[in-house]
Amino acid sequence: MAWEFFTANELRCKGTSEIDMDEKFMQKLIALRKELNQPMIITSGYRHLAYNSVVGGSRNSPHLYGKAVDVACYGKRAYNIIKLGLKYGFTGIGVKQHGPHEKRFIHLDTMPDGENPRPFIWSYK
């Protein structure tokens, strides 16, 4: 399974190698990537429940449903991904822009309202 700009390998669960990405989510991600017109390095895509527990993901993480990715980026690229994330209707945007550059990322998801009304933007500690 592959999508324009993204391979199955970069989106599959790092713990189980399973992949179950939501097609509507992927359509939004591909549209964002087209407009960004720059490569996007996905550090986390789909997560199996067991692996989500290992990495300390939230109990209802959108990664479990194939509705989230974490994109390695910082600086102007991070800003542009946030801006395009809002434009393309991503309902959850997490910002980790502190610490070493190689550990910085932007989380994008399309989860519906739940614990937090959507759209929702947060920063990681």
Q: What is the DSSP letter of 55?
A: T
Mean of per-residue pLDDT scores for the chain: 95
| Residue partners of 98: CB distance under 8 A and separation at least 6 | 104
pLDDT at 62: 96
pLDDT at 96: 98
| Ranges 43-47, 75-79, 118-122: which has the least confidence | 118-122
Query: Which pTM was predicted?
Result: 0.95
Q: Alpha carbon 71 to chain centroid distance?
A: 6
Rounded Cα gap, residues 95 and 104, in angstroms: 8
pLDDT digit string (tens) for 9-67? 999 999 999 999 999 999 999 999 999 999 999 999 999 999 999 999 999 999 999 99
φ, ψ dihedrals at 64, nearest 5°:
-65, -25
